[in-house]
Amino acid sequence: MNRRSVKPFRPVYPSPAALITSVSEDGRPNIITLGEVFNISISNPVILGIAIAKPRYSHELICATREYVVNLPTAGMVEVVDRCGSVSGREVDKFAEFRLTPLPAEKVRPPLIAECPINVECRVLDIIEVGDHDLFLGEAVAEHVIEEALDEDGHILTDRLDPLCYLHSEYWSCGRKLGRHGFSRK
């Protein structure tokens, strides 16, 4: 297999597309579409990272309140996800414009998005300057999953979520399950 060197552009592998909610100090919610959400730590505590360009309205809001919610949409939401990433919340109420339903969060001020099957409430632990973006490291303080996507033990059934992925400026559905961690050791 021949290879060619190219200029680094985007992540090599897909990441979940996400709708990140934030809120102004006076309570006005906003949504930004991000193509990358990072699992920084998967336990004790769970830490999710998001990187946002400094001029973005959501950057300003998260810096001020130090809270955000990661809302993971389904592949069926691809059009609204793309549209949320095409206009600024400085001028548009994206909840109203794109007919999304805000739900109150349990532990942070930004709302959950009802149409998203998974919502993770985060409090900012640290902000790291990385080039023209800031990396927000958020401790997951609450997570919400629709009942239909949970088994009797509370484990997430990914096949019931139809997650939306993002790679090289393109949206993808994730496809089918190929195995579970450790399956090859049988």
What is the distance between the alpha carbons of residues 58 and 53, in angstroms, rounded to a whole number? 9
Q: Model pTM?
A: 0.93
- For residue 164, tell me if it sits in a domain: yes
Question: What digits encode the pLDDT tens for the residues 70-125?
Answer: 999 999 999 999 999 999 999 999 999 999 999 999 999 999 999 999 999 999 99
pLDDT band at 9 (very low <50, low <70, confident <90, very high): low
- For residue 145, tell me if it sits in a domain: yes
What DSSP string describes 42-97? ESSSEEEEEEEETTSHHHHHHHHH-EEEEEE-BGGGHHHHHHHTTS-TTT--HHHH
Structural domain count, the chain? 1
What is the distance between the alpha carbons of residues 61 and 130, in angstroms, rounded to a whole number? 18
- For residue 150, tell me if it sits in a domain: yes
Backbone φ and ψ of 28, nearest 5°: -85, 120
What is the distance between the alpha carbons of residues 118 and 17, in angstroms, rounded to a whole number? 12
Question: What digits encode the pLDDT tens for the residues 125-172?
Answer: 999 999 999 999 999 999 999 999 999 999 999 889 999 999 888 999
Phi-psi region of 99 (alpha: psi -120 to 50; beta: other; left: phi over 0): left
Residue 78 CA neighbour count, 13 Å, CB half? 13
* CA-wise closest residue to 69 among 30, 25, 40: 30
pLDDT band at 174 (very low <50, low <70, confident <90, very high): confident
* CA-wise closest residue to 72 among 154, 140, 168, 169: 140
- For residue 70, tell me if it sits in a domain: yes
CATH number for the domain harbouring residue 63: 2.30.110.10
- For residue 10, tell me if it sits in a domain: no
Write the CB contacts of 183 (distance below 8 Å, at least 6 apart in sequence). none
Phi-psi region of 182 (alpha: psi -120 to 50; beta: other; left: phi over 0): left
- For residue 186, tell me if it sits in a domain: no
- For residue 6, tell me if it sits in a domain: no
Average pLDDT over residues 9-33: 89
Q: Is the pLDDT of residue 15 over 90?
A: no
Cβ-in-10-Å burial (0-12, 13-18, 19+) of 160 comes to: middle
- Domain residue limits at 60: 15-173
**Strand, coil or helix: what is 23?**
strand
